[in-house]
């Protein structure tokens, strides 16, 4: 407060005014002006205007985060206009966007935050923006779904910490985005409700060209201001902003071609016995029809942008169109993105308003499913060899004179393997998504140290899934007259906040900034209306797909996944001392509607962090440009699942029985989850900022996890489950980010970056009632189970092994048969460490970028291989038959050694293979290193091109090849982006390799 009160009167003081602009001439609001050696200071308003009192001969210091500071001696002039240029990139002046859109100098951060520039997101463009961050951020694991183009993506930052959800929060310009998907599969066999399908997510719907950059906040401290939503980390996206006095039109066009890579291998030496589903018959050459089944996919992304800015207002418009066809025949996608952003300033620039609206509509035909039901791939892979695949392709339906309709034509009536072309054409599905995001932000600058901002946003996601299943579809999947499924889901989020920002120099040595605010978030997720004519009851008239043709209403219902409101107050403060020591103190209190009828209506959580700039505090050798150490401790609370504490009677589909499915355990109250994290880090730059690294260590524990335990069967409350607080998961790890300017010259430069992260995960506690375990995916009848087990890392894969002795010999029973164990741990889906290595080269106007991405450790299971072996179609079974049997190291109970087993007996009759086989034999090391992205291009010189500001052309490739891989499929693809079905492949769409061309022009 001294700064405001201790006014010292000086002679010849005059008022100096001026405008501070950036190198483009755009006014800089919030730039600071100080009198060197004095106590007076001022900041610019929204027009970049400042005024300060100084006397002739004094030096004014102009500074702005991220720009080169300037010192100007006051002369006679009363106006001093300053144009501030981009500072040489160095750690002292970099600015990062943090929580709630607050910009901070990078040096003052007390936690790890890693940025990606917009160019990184669009250089090798993917229809889903988030797929492009793989390998570029330390500690972030990106796993694509097997749903093909338009599918969702699982992002896990610093390890799985929750049983329910490990996905981060996405934030656009400070406002949390609703990232609701309409559901993820979790059945190994495949869902009977239309197959194991990816319900998509919202982040896959946004237009990568709308954003100029991304910041990933990894830890709890970084995300404390977003509360529970940010407990799994936060990904911040900043939208592109128009520049004052400039207008331009940009256009880009990306065309890529995808081919199926890493298909399973098949035998071509044996055929099936007549009428048999499995290929265990006589020798006979067959054609490999699998390769030809897949198409070359194409994806065309065309994006147009227009922006114009004047002194008081700016407008940006964007449009993008994505259209593509997948490698799976019959699969196609169409997506349109529209965006508009408008800003304006009023009242002497004290009041500014920004509004933006984005709309996306997406339509996907035959989004690929995994699992055994409704999946064309099972029919393709498993077709009994010796049949003519092309015949069944061209005649997938034939006229049935008895029914007077076209009926499926296939050699078998197995639910897990229909005619693939019937599945494609007569079990056709359509996924539609519409996403709207509208936001309004108002900010008012009350004076030079206080501004108040308020924001409101509305997100709306509508998704619709429509599947028409024609009569004569296999009887497990459909009624005799066909089946119609139509699911609509609506999710909305309303968010509003009010934040006061205070930024003041208490004295020349002490700086204080604070953000104090309140927010309200109201979320409705997946309000669904589900129509399903069902399998048993079905349609009255064959192939008439509409609600009034349903024989019964029993499969139709409305439901809502979640509905809640969270109201919060929060404050985040930073105290800076001499620009070398920074103390962060933040706190938040949430009141959540999910906590009604519990002992607590709200919950409080704090964070504290400290950063010291060693390079400013001590004298270091000249070659060290920057050195910093930091430490934080933070807690994040998380509310419980909605509706649990207000159970209602509920008619569930298929149950006439209206009783609540979940409720609190009698006599117990529920409380919020709590995540605590401690983090240390250090960052150094040296050799003229050519080499820099940052190392972070963190340790977090999430306690009081909400878990549903099986209630006593037939308890008087009617609950199937009790909701309880229990369970604790720990994550420890470290991250290294290394940047090096290996060579910098006028004609040639080479920059490299390495992102390394290691995470050790441990499930510390799972309650006794659950036997110390929670099954995230139940096995059903298959030998795959995915569980969280006390004392083990998160995500244990369990399966069955062949019974062996200590020497590794197979122990046969008295009949000479292989014996299987019960469920045992056979692997873990989590990587031990991840490494991303990116290189960018410039040779004159040419540029090249190469990203190598590696995941090390962990295991995956291939039920696809197992099933292919069981059916005798795999190359392994063909080779074994050619070799006279499977080589085994086995022993009879009487000690007789057995070295060879008949292939059919081993794989099929004794069932080592198959979905309920000894899946321990089908585990693979998930370690893989791939050439994730490559781009090679040329920047045209604008001088040679009229009207054009910039233009470039590049050849791009994604997932070009694996440098190392053990598994028979791409382990970076998961069957689900939810918590279950990890580390397993069950007829997932093969991974694709894409190569294409990228054109960019700005007028």
Partner 1 sequence: MKLNKITKTAICLSLLATVGCTDNFEDINTNNNGITPELFQQDFNHIKGGFAPIFNNIQTITSQLEWQYQLQQGLNSDIWSGYMATPTPFGGSNNTTYNLNDNWNGFVWSIAYSNVMYNAYNIEQLAKGKYDQFYALALILKVEGMHRVTDTFGPIIYSKYGTTDATIEYDSQQNIYNQMFSELDVAVTELTKRVDSGDDGTASFGKTDLSGYAGKFEQWIKFANTLRLRLAMRIVKVDPALAKTQAEKAVAQKFGVMKTNADLFQIQSPVNTNPIATISGSWLDIRMGADMESILGGYNDPRIATYFDTSAQFPGEYKGIRTGIEITAKGDHQDFSGIGAVVRSKNIVLMTAAEAYFLRAEGALRGWNMNGDAKALYEAGITTSFDQRGASGAAAYITDNVKTAKAYVDPNFPVNNAAAVNNVTIAWDAAATNEVKLQKIITQKWIAGFPEGQEAWSDYRRTGYPKLFPVLKNTSGGKISTLLGVRRINFVQSEISLNKGGVDSGIAKLGGPDTGGTRLWWDTAAANF
Task: Among 85, 284, 475, 844, indicate the residue that binds partner 1 (CB under 8 A).
Answer: 475
Q: Which of 40, 218, 483, 564 binds partner 1 (CB under 8 A)?
A: 564
Q: CB of 193: closest distance to partner 1 in angstroms? A: 9
650 binds partner 1 (CB under 8 A): yes
DSSP 227: G
Which of the residues 212 through 271 are near partner 1 (CB under 8 A)? none
CB of 26 or CB of 535, closer to partner 1 = 535
In angstroms, the CA 113 to CA 681 distance is: 11
- We find the least distance from the C-beta atom of residue 6 to partner 1, in angstroms, to be 15
346, 391, 655, 846: which one contacts partner 1 (CB under 8 A)?
A: 655
Among 88, 394, 546, 601, binds partner 1 (CB under 8 A): 601
Q: Report 422-451 residues binding partner 1 (CB under 8 A).
A: 450
User: How far is residue 729 from each of residues 185, 260, 366, measured CA to CA in Å?
Assistant: 24, 38, 38
950 close to 1002: Cβ distance less than 8 angstroms: yes
Q: Which residues pair with 498 in a beta bridge?
A: 454, 518
Contacts of 504 (CB under 8 A, 6+ apart): 3, 449, 511, 512, 513
How many Cβ atoms from other residues are within 10 Å of residue 202's Cβ?
A: 22
Residues in the chain, how many?
A: 1003
* 249, 261, 365, 516: which one binds partner 1 (CB under 8 A): 516
Using rule CB under 8 A, residue 718 touches partner 1: yes
Number of residues that bind partner 1 (CB under 8 A): 78
597 contributes a contact to partner 1 by CB under 8 A: yes
Q: Does 2 bind partner 1 (CB under 8 A)?
A: no
Using CB under 8 A, pick the residue from 251, 276, 365, 608 that binds partner 1. 276
Say how far apart CA 831 and CA 575 lie, in whole Å. Answer: 39
- The β-bridge partners of 513 are 503, 574
Contact with partner 1 (CB under 8 A) among 25, 85, 284, 654: 654
User: DSSP for 379-427?
Assistant: HHHHS-BTB-HHHHHHTSEEEETTTTEEEE--S--BTTB--HHHHHHHS
Query: Cβ(555)–Cβ(534) under 8 Å?
Result: yes
- For residue 657, state whether it binds partner 1 (rule: CB under 8 A): yes
Give CA–CA dist 431/362, Å, rounded. Answer: 8
Within 69-88, the residues that bind partner 1 by CB under 8 A are: none
Establish if 596 lies at the interface with partner 1 (CB under 8 A). yes
Owner of token pair 């873990």: 828
Q: Does 549 bind partner 1 (CB under 8 A)?
A: no
Options 582, 643, 837, 922; binder of partner 1; rule CB under 8 A: 643
Instruction: Name which of residues 665 to 684 contact partner 1 (CB under 8 A).
Output: 666
| Interacting span for partner 1 (CB under 8 A) from 353-361, 530-538, 695-703, 939-947 | 530-538
Q: Return the C-alpha torsion angle 272, 274, 275, 280, nearest 10.
A: -30
Shortest CA distance to 140 belongs to which of 666, 735, 688?
735
Can you tell me the distance from the alpha carbon of 738 to that of 428, in angstroms, rounded to the nearest whole number?
A: 48
User: Residue for token digits 């441990």?
Assistant: 762
Of residues 749 through 808, those in contact with partner 1 by CB under 8 A are: 769, 771
Least distance in angstroms from the C-beta of 297 to partner 1:
35
The side-by-side arrangement of strands in the sheet containing 113-117 is 113-117, 211-217, 234-239, 169-172, 175-176
Q: Contact with partner 1 (CB under 8 A): which of 76, 656, 746, 894? A: 656
Does residue 826 contact residue 863 with C-beta atoms inside 8 Å? no
Bridge partner residues of 72 (DSSP) = 60
Q: Pick from 190, 305, 534, 996: which binds partner 1 (CB under 8 A)?
A: 534
Q: Rule CB under 8 A: is residue 535 a binding residue for partner 1?
A: yes
Task: Give the residue with the Cβ less far from partner 1, 650 or 693.
Answer: 650
Span interacting with partner 1, options 37-45, 164-172, 604-612, 713-721, rule CB under 8 A: 713-721
Residue selected from 102, 353, 440, 571 as contacting partner 1 according to rule CB under 8 A: 571
Select 415 or 431, whichever has its Cβ closest to partner 1: 415
Q: Contact between 552 and partner 1 (CB under 8 A)? A: yes
Strand pairing of 247-260 and 297-309?
Answer: antiparallel
CB–CB of 552/573 below 8 Å?
Answer: no
- Span 10-69, contacts to partner 1 by CB under 8 A: none
- Least Å distance, CB 378 to partner 1, is 17
Pick one of 336, 434, 563, 950: the residue that binds partner 1 (CB under 8 A). 563
623 near partner 1, rule: CB under 8 A: no
Residue with Cβ nearer partner 1 (416 or 989): 416
1 near partner 1 (CB under 8 A):
yes
């Amino acid at each position: 407060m001294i700064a405001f009160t201790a006014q010292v009167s000086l002679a010849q003081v005059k008022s100096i005014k001026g405008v501070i602009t950036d190198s483009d001439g755009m006014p800089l609001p919030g730039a600071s002006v100080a009198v060197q050696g004095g106590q007076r200071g001022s900041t610019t308003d929204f027009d970049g205007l400042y005024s300060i009192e100084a006397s002739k001969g004094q030096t004014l210091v102009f500074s702005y985060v991220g720009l080169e500071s300037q010192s100007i001696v006051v002369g006679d002039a009363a106006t001093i206009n300053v144009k501030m240029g981009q500072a040489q990139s160095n750690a002292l002046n970099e600015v990062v966007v943090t929580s709630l859109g607050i910009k901070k100098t990078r040096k003052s951060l007390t936690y790890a935050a890693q940025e990606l520039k917009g160019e990184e997101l669009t250089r090798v463009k993917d229809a889903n923006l988030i797929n492009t961050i793989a390998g570029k951020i330390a500690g972030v694991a990106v796993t694509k779904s097997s749903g093909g183009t338009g599918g969702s993506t699982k992002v896990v930052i610093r390890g799985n910490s929750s049983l329910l959800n490990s996905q981060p929060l996405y934030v656009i310009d400070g406002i949390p985005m609703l990232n609701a998907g309409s559901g993820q599969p979790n059945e190994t066999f495949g869902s009977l409700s239309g197959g194991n399908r990816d319900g998509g997510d919202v982040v896959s719907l946004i237009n990568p060209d709308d954003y100029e950059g991304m910041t990933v906040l990894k830890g709890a401290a970084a995300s404390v201001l977003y509360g529970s939503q940010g407990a799994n980390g936060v990904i911040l996206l900043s939208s592109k902003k128009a520049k004052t006095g400039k207008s331009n039109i940009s256009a880009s066009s990306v065309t890529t071609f995808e081919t199926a890579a890493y298909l399973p291998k098949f035998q071509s030496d044996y055929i099936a016995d007549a009428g048999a589903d499995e290929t265990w018959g006589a020798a006979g050459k067959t054609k490999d029809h699998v390769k030809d089944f897949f198409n070359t996919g194409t994806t065309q992304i065309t994006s147009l942008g227009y922006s114009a800015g004047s002194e008081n207002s700016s407008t940006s418009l964007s449009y993008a169109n994505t259209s593509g066809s997948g490698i799976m025949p019959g699969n196609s996608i169409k997506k349109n993105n529209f965006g508009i952003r408008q800003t304006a300033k009023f009242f002497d620039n004290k009041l500014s308003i920004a509004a933006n609206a984005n709309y996306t509509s997406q339509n996907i035909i035959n989004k690929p499913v995994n699992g055994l039901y409704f999946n064309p791939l099972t029919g393709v892979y498993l077709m009994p060899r010796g049949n003519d695949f092309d015949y069944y392709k061209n005649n997938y339906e034939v006229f049935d004179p008895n029914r007077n309709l076209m009926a499926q034509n296939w050699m078998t009536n197995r639910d897990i393997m229909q005619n693939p072309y019937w599945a494609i054409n007569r079990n056709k599905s359509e996924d539609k998504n519409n996403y709207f995001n509208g936001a309004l932000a108002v900010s008012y600058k009350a004076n030079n140290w206080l501004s108040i901002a308020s924001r409101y946003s509305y997100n709306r996601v509508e998704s619709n899934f429509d599947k028409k299943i024609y009569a004569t579809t296999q009887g497990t999947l459909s009624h005799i007259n066909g089946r119609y499924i139509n699911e609509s889901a609506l999710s909305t989020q309303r968010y509003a906040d009010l934040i006061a920002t205070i930024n003041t120099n208490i004295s020349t040595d002490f700086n204080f900034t604070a953000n104090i605010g309140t927010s309200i978030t109201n979320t409705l997720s997946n309000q669904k209306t589900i129509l399903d004519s069902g399998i048993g009851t079905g349609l009255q008239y064959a192939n008439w797909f509409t609600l009034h043709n349903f024989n019964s209403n029993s499969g139709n219902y409305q439901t809502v996944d979640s509905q809640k409101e969270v109201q919060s107050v929060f404050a985040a403060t930073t105290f800076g001392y001499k620009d070398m020591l920074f103390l962060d103190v933040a706190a938040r209190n949430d009141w959540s509607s999910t906590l009604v009828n519990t002992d607590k209506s709200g919950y409080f959580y704090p964070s504290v962090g400290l950063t010291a700039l060693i390079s400013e505090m001590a004298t270091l050798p000249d070659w060290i440009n920057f050195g910093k150490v930091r430490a934080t401790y933070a807690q994040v609370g998380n509310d419980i699942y909605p509706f649990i504490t207000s159970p209602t009677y509920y008619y569930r589909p298929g149950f006439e029985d209206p009783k609540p499915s979940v409720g609190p355990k009698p006599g117990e109250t529920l409380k919020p989850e709590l995540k605590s994290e401690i983090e240390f880090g250090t960052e150094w730059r040296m050799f003229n900022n050519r080499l820099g690294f940052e190392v972070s260590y963190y340790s977090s524990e999430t306690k009081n996890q909400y878990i549903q335990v099986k209630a006593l069967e037939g308890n008087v409350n009617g609950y199937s489950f009790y909701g309880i607080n229990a369970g604790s998961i720990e994550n420890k790890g470290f991250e290294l980010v290394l940047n090096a300017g290996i060579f910098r010259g006028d004609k040639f430069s080479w920059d490299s970056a390495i992102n390394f992260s290691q995470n050790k995960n441990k499930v510390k506690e799972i309650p006794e009632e659950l036997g110390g375990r929670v099954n995230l995916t139940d096995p059903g009848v298959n030998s795959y189970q995915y569980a969280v087990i006390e004392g083990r890392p998160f995500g244990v894969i369990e399966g069955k092994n062949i019974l062996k002795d200590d020497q590794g010999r197979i122990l046969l029973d008295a009949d000479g048969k292989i014996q299987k164990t019960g469920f045992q741990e056979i692997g873990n889906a989590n990587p031990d460490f991840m490494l991303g290595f990116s290189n960018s080269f410039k040779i004159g106007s040419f540029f090249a970028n190469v990203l190598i991405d590696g995941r090390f450790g962990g295991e995956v299971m291939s039920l696809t291989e197992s099933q292919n072996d069981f059916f005798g179609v795999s190359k392994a079974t063909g080779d074994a038959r050619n070799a006279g049997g499977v080589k085994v190291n086995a022993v009879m109970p009487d000690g007789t050694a057995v070295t060879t087993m008949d292939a059919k007996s081993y794989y099929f009759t004794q069932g080592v293979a198959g979905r309920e086989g000894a899946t321990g034999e089908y585990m693979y090391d998930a370690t893989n290193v791939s050439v994730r992205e490559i781009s090679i291009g040329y920047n045209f010189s604008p001088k040679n091109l009229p009207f054009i500001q910039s233009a470039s052309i590049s050849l791009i490739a994604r997932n070009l090849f694996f440098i190392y891989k053990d598994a028979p499929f791409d382990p970076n693809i998961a069957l689900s982006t939810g918590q279950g079905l990890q580390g397993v492949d069950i007829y997932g769409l093969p991974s694709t390799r894409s190569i294409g061309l990228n054109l960019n022009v700005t007028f």
